Structure 1
Amino acid sequence: MGKRRVDSDDEDPSAETTPASKRARTADSDEDEAPRATSSRRASKGKAKSRRRDEESDDDEDQDDDEEVEEKDEDERELEADILASLESKRGTRGGVADHGIIETIEMHQFMCHKFLTFTFGPQINFIIGHNGSGKSAVLSAITVALGGKANSTGRGNGLKSFIREGQSASEVTISLKNQGEEAYKPQEYGKSIVITRRFTKEGSSTWKIKSKTGKLISSKKDELAAICDHMNIQVDNPMNVLTQDAARQFLSASVPSDKYKFFLRGTQLSQLSEEYDICFSNITTTSKVLEQKQEALPDLKRALRDATSRWQEASKAREQKQKVAVLKKEQAWAHVTVKRKEMEGKIEDVAKATRRVPRVQQSLDTAQANLEAADKVVVEEEQKLDELGDREGLNDKRKEVQDEIKKKRDTVISLHSQMKDMDGNIKKAKRQMEDYQQQIDKETKRLEQNTEAKRAETQQKMQAARDAAENAQKAVESLSAERAAAEEEAKRIEAEGRPLEQALRAANEQVQQCRNNIDNCRRAEKDRYAAYGTNIQQVVQQINQTRWKGEKPLGPLGIHCKVRDNQWARLLRFTLGSMLSSFAVTTVEDLRTLKKILESSGNPNVTVLLFKPDLFEYKHGEPPEHVLTVLRALEISDDHVLRILINKSSIESRVLAPTRLEAQHTLSQLRGGAQAWTNDGFLVTKFSEGGESSVPLHIREMNAGLLVGNASDELARWTQNHNDAQAQHAAAKAAHDAGYAKYGVARDAFASFGPRLATAEETVRRAKTRMRQLLEEINEDTPAELSALNEAYEESNKDREMLTAQFTDISRQKATLDAEMKELITQRDAYTAQITDFLTHQQQVKDTIEKAAENRTKFLSDVQGWKKKLEVENAKVKEAQEVADHVQTEFEEWTAKAELYCARVETDRDPDELERIIKSTQDALKERERRHGASVDEMTDEVNKARERLERTQGDLNKMGALVKALKKSLSVRLSKWQEFRRHIALRCKLVFGYHLSQRGYYGKVMFDHDKGTLQLKVQTDDQAATQGVSRDKDPRSLSGGEKSFSTICLLLSLWESIGCPLRCLDEFDVFMDAVNRRISMKMMIDVANQSDKKQYVLITPQDMTNVTLGPTVRVHRMTDPERGQGVLGFSG
């Protein structure tokens, strides 16, 4: 069957085709003689079944009285009975409402004479009434245009532009189709209604918008509209479905029988099938002629084969030489293979030689690489040792502080010594002056004794007593001062003894507080195992588990995977590995940045993130003997990657643990090479590989007890016990401190008791001296002025001596104190100097080791680079040799494969060139023979094969095409038979339904088909004929009145509608020629038929009034108002 053409939107009247159905294509020409031609062809070909005429009639109109005898076979009688029974069963019944394919609403914008017009159609019967000129027929035109029909089929215009309202630039028609039920079209997309909008403009453009019930645009293609119409069986271009005003007028007019027959075929789509069958028959005929022409070429092909075979047989004598050449070529082919095999074996040996050199170079490279790694490890270890040594700035600062203090005190001692020297000179000077004054006084006194001896003796006795009293009092002061100084020293000594007790008490307090802190940490660890490693670490671990990482998932915190085996090392390892235990490890830089952000956002900006390579390397070679305890052996590590990270970062496999520095030194002395140890008493002990060792204090402080804990509950119990022990130690330290403080109080009170006593003694000295001055004044009063002056001078010198002596004693005591302090400071300075010297010595040793290791590393790196280049060269040679060998091997395999395809293996030792000479001489002989015969044996063989192939191919093609033509003829015959059956059944149903509908008016009539001549005639007997004439004579429709003719035609139309499956029935001005009676009966009959029709929708247009027609609930009447048109006045000149 022919495929439906899809036209562009440019609505050229000559190019319009309908998308409504694949069966909707009809011939545009009324001179279509397809049925007649088909019938004639069937008669001439003998392919049609014999059939009887449905009706026989006399063409002469005067012989109306002749009775026509209609013979019916048994099948036709049964079919007629079934049709009549079906009609009777429908009487009084009501058909169902269609679920899809009927029109729900139609809207017209600027269409024909309507500015805007809309209708909501009922599901079964719709009458559109209105006066002439109201635009009723525009509704059918809008339906045709919106559903893709041709514009000229409406009879209202030659193109879409003619439908645009005058004065407007564009027009639009929208139709809503019902889309429900099981057979709905794409209900998921369109819903319960399909809204189709067609817009066209004066410029000739035309567009479709196909939307869902909700207004969503689904498609704008005409193909989608065609698919919808095909699915719903809508045929808008079928003249039987949409009968326009012109078509209705033509149908109702007195057309010739052949036109009615053509209308019948087009309406039932039988004409389209007939046309397609004609095309099929024409193609089959053409193919048969081509086959007949090809059949004539067979004798020539057979003769050509015989001639070629004869020539080939004449040249067959050359076969032996040809076979000899073939044998030689086979041997030559395998001779080439043998040569290539020998070349391949040589190349493979070259590859083996080059390959054998690679392992030796690789071994040298591995050795150099191992040396380089060892040197790198030495550099790393020594640099780590250097880092662990720290710097000497602290020691230098402390030594400088001590040195500055020594200098300050030395300057003070020198100053005191100078003062003491000056004082000693002044005291001696004062004593000499006193001796001089005493001699002068004695001399003067001796001179005066003669005159006042008795009085003077008494005065001198009193003076001597006062002097003795002053001296005794002064001795008492000096004795008390000495005792007071001794008491002060004792108090200071006791105070110094109390400082360790105070430090011990402070340490006990700190230990108790540390135990309490660790108890709190252990309790937190029981609830959160990550609490010891930072803030919100558990949330950090959850984020790590939920994040997608570039490399492997980060490890951490590392301490989660570590547990100390013996708690005696926990404090030391928590201090030395603390930061490592809280750190995380990642494998890529991108992951490091991501994890840093996570840690910072959780409040852990200082947590270290390490980069590591997930390499489970072997580390046993770096461990000391098994009896030596290392950090690795003291820990239980559950993750292999964490273990190796700690090995790389902290050398835990070689770091020794010892209880004391002495034991660490002893253990390290037994190990070869350099090593380091951590001790429980707080030292980093280093043994240098070149000799010598150092010890650096670690200054251990207690870290979080949650680190390196396997079981938090056990650790909590241990720290609880430690807390109890610490409290006991605190109590003992406090008791010792209180006892010492009490002893210090006694000594301090003893020291303080000397104050009043010393003050009393000093007061006694002052009173004695006052008494001496009084006596001296008395003596002076009785003695001459010269002796008095000497006595005063003597007393003045004595005062100076006493003052200088007191000052000298005080300064001597200060100097003694400073000397003792200086001695202690000098001891500290010497200790710091020794430590700095020891530090510099060890630091220089480590630097020398690092420098030497760096030199070795540079040398080994150069070796590695050299061996790598050498290995690359050797690998390149191997690769080059392998490529050559592979190429030769590939050639050998290809040559072998080609030789095997050419012939079986031939063993030969002959050279290919030698075989080439033999072949050439033999071929020259063959060419000479071919020259004599005019062609070679191969050419003749090819000629025979080609001739045979042409003959066999032609015979095969003819046989296949003949079978195809036979099958096509058989198929077409079956289809033509079915076509005739369809036509016979439709015609029979049309006859019966036509008579049935005429009987509603009391008429009797027949539809007479002549399928051979292609005519359709109506015979109608009215009721007035039977009443007036008393005879039964059929009338030709042309002799009927206008109303009778219109009623008869309506009956014919209803009978034809019974054979059409389209859900739409549209008819325009069907009652224009009917009288009132026929119109009323026709209306009732049409309404009854419509009500009995199942799932059909009728749109009937009439200019008549509907007041005399009884309407039921299934009928919807749409009344149109008169159009608004400008009515002017013709201007006639008076």
Structure 2
Amino acid sequence: MAKRPVAPESDAEPDSVPNTPASKRARTQDPSAEPSQRGSKRSQPKGKGKVRKQDEDDIDLAGSDDAEVPEVKDEEDEEEVRKFEEEQEEAIRASLEAKSKTVGGVAEMGIIESIQMFEFMCHKYLTFTFGPQVNFIIGGKSAVLSAITVALGGKANSTGRGSGLKSFIREGQPAAEVIITLKNQGEEAYKPQIYGKSIVISRRFTKEGSSSYRIMSKDNKLVSTKREELANICDHMNIQVDNPMNVLTQGVLITILCRQFLSASAPADKYKFFLKGTQLQQLSDEYDTILENVTLTTKVIHSKRDAIEDLRQAFKDAKDRFEEASKAREQKVKVDELKKELAWSHVNAKEDEMRRKLEEVAKLERRLPRVQENVDAAEAQIQVANEKVALHEQELQDLGDIDELHAQKTVLTDQMRGNKTKIQEYKSREKELDTSFKEIHARIAQLDHNIDEEKKKLEKNTQAETEQRNLKLADTQAQLIKADKELEDIKAQKIAKNDEMTAARVRGQEAERMRDDARKTIQECEGQAAAAVTEKKNSLAAFGRNIKGVLEQIKAMKWFGNVPVGPFGMFVNVKDPQKWAGVLRVQLGGAMTSFAITDPRDRPALKKLLDQSGNQGAQIIISEYDIFDYSGGEPGPNVMTVLRAIEVADPYVLRILINQQRIERTLLAETRLEADNLLSRFQGGGQAWSADLYNVRQFGDGGGNSQMLTKLGASDFRQNLFTGRNAEAQAMHWQNQIREANERHEQAITTLDQCRRAHQTANAALQALTTQERQTHQRASNLRIEMNRIQSEINDDLPAAIAALQSAREEAEAEKEDVKAKFATVEKTKSDLDAEQNKLLTELKRVRDLVADYEEKKGSIRTKIEDAVTDRMNAQNSKAHYSKKLDEEKKKVDEASAAAALLQEEYESWSEKAERYCARVETKRKAEEVQRNLDSVQAALKEREKKHGATVEEMTIQVNKAQADLHTAESDLADVTALNKSLKSSLVLRLQKWHEFRRHIALRCKVVFQYHLANRGYYGKVLFDHGAGTLQLKVQTDDQAGTQTRDKDPRSLSGGEKSFSTICLLLSLWEAIGCPIRCLDEFDVFMDAVNRRISMKTMIDTANSSDGKQYVLITPQDMTSVAASPTVRIHRMLDPERGQRTLPFGAA
């Protein structure tokens, strides 16, 4: 690339420009002509100090690859520069004037809303909430700028306050954290649907050197922890945290700008600072990289050109050798003809093979309709069976339940029992009233007799008789008291004897029930013991009659399908017989005698065999041998199912039980309540069996029912299933049961005899007490009559005694009538109870008839359902059998069709290849015969080819390969050359644009610098020399305007003047930066009051007129001269706590 010649700009002073290195732009000529200008390694661009040779760098950017490169110069024509500045300077000044009169808009994104520091530097906790435009921080909080740099991912050493993150951690603390909140609004917001109106960035670092990011939304919801996301956010918002022009810390500002930048720094250093701050340096470095790659590609192109000449020579040599061997072609013509015939003879053979395979496919396809008919017939049978099952299930559902009838039966039974007790009580009351009636009647007769006697003795009464009557009265009263006491004792004894009789009767009834149960158990256990003895001799006895012989005949017979499998009980054992055997005997016991077949045609033969052996009740199941995966239908592993409670040795039997009994999804529980609770945990309903013999169902719609299972009798053959014991132990078990039953029987008989004797003894004692009670009652009545008679005789010897007797008779008559009325009432009540009892008995009979009718209908429907289910299962098995057979036939057809298709494809492929090789050759010779003829001709040809060292085919291949290699290399070289030429042209255009950018930025910097100096009454210039890569400042103060003829060098300026000039330069450079944040620390450290006031006003005015920019300005001095406003926010902070103490000078 051609070098840019130097042409000073309009404001340059060549006599004052020292020798400095050229700018870090991509060079196009050898830079070794200025070796003295690269004095120090520090001033060189990184990695760009290599000396390029002229013959390597001179590449064509517009024409051919070897043409001279046109120059893109850094030097500019003075007249052109002057004209450009005249055209643009007034426009820039006008825009500055217009801008100063307007208020800039607030940025919608990319500015800092707040920052928080925890254990950062010397601050335990520090926070700021920034305004959107101008922010002054009073108190020298330089840590703020360091925190901003660290939080936004900047390097620690760029802050000038530490060499690493660990140096920012507060003394004595293990970690520090900085949290910064960025505004994220407007149309250009970064991922607003994720972050919202603010982005919160947290960076935490520890003493151990670890550092982590947390990037959160406005609601503090974590979005990312990756540094790449932070880089994307900064790129999107144009935040350049490491750009020295964006965040000017205290060290950078004072050390570089105030103390050295304006005075001691070289013009080349200022120029570098200008390029880096405006990001022109970054573009320059990238263009240098592009130029290096273009140069490297040019070298590769030159080397490729040399290789093409070698390829051309190789092609020429191969072509010469091929022409020398052309004389052998005549003999090869014969070989070609034979090869053509051989190719078509192979095609003819393949055609014959294809025709035979197609005939086989047609034959197999003719068999499919017959098998399909069988499948359709089985499907129709399944449909009919499904309809029957649905119909009968609906009938069963419509039948409802009889829980209400059972409840009604219980109520009626209880009422009849209560009425029976009342009737017995009323009968006893009748007997008592009858006895009382007889006693009263006898008393009345006695009174009549006494009245007659009294009438006869009226005139015989004397004084002596009166005394005798008194003595007799006292004796009669004593006897009456004794008789009444005897009656009370007798009544108490009668109640006790009645209780004894009732207790004896109840115990006797219970003993009779126990005796009958024991007799029944003995009979059943004797049968089971006999069966166990038989099972000891024959282990298959529990599954039917003569099962051993049946199995032997099954093995000997011929079957259409697999050999029948059964009985199922041979393969099934219960893991925990003590717990689950009872309910499984009831529910699965019937299936243990079943047999299974795979072909429906085997059913008649097996049915006949079982009937002849006396096993008519054994079920025959038709099921295809399908060892399917059933794990999908099982519940969780912590739920007990029938499948998990048993062990099935045969996988075929296991699958049948799964299909027939749903054992993989039927649950087991110890009680009905536990089963109900277990099913309620499963959606969609289900079924469970409980160990206390209940079948519990729950439906998907929320309903359900539970049905008590019928307990097996001791004589039921299923009692010998799932015992977990061998035949000998089973026989011993039943003998023990018989012995225990005999003991219970003897004990029951003994108890019954004792109860009978006790009842007879109590009854005899009761009869004796009743007689004694009647006699005592009669005696007491007579004594009472006698006492009344004597008393009457004593009181009045006149007919008044007769009147007393008559009065007693009237009382007895009244008592007699009362007893008759009570008897009538008791008799009527008993009659009513008898009538009610008859009604209850009639109603109970009716309820029992309804229950029996319901059970009969339910049993009939269940039988129909079982028959329909059996028919459906048989039809399903038939369908599965024929479907499998159909699949097999289809598979055969598919395999044959695939083979035919493959042969046809091979035939067509061979025909196509043969046609590409040559036109069709009609031949009837076989391929073997043609091959023998070809081999003989080729042998003769090889003898001739030995003279040339290679075959004609090999030489043809060599020529074609050499030609193809040459063509490929030439094409690749042309493509790479065109690409490299395009890259060169693009680089030239980009360099031109870069120069335009630099020219505009430099001019604007000059004008803005002069504009800001004018606010103080100063005059200054920024002198750029882009060819030499230098930047110089000239400033003339107001007191020099009349005395100085030349501009003042910055080294002669005062501290305040330097600081003010620095601020003006910064403001001019900031105009060229797109970052929305400007940070400046202790900018007024060397300013006097006047320069500080003017600088402050200048910065505030500039900030107010800037559009979408935020300024953070830190000063240790007072800000009383600046008033807060909507655009200016002032933060006054206390000094940080650094743990200083007062030195004890006073004590000395």
State TM-score, norm by structure 1.
0.50
The structure having more radius of gyration, on CA atoms, is: 1
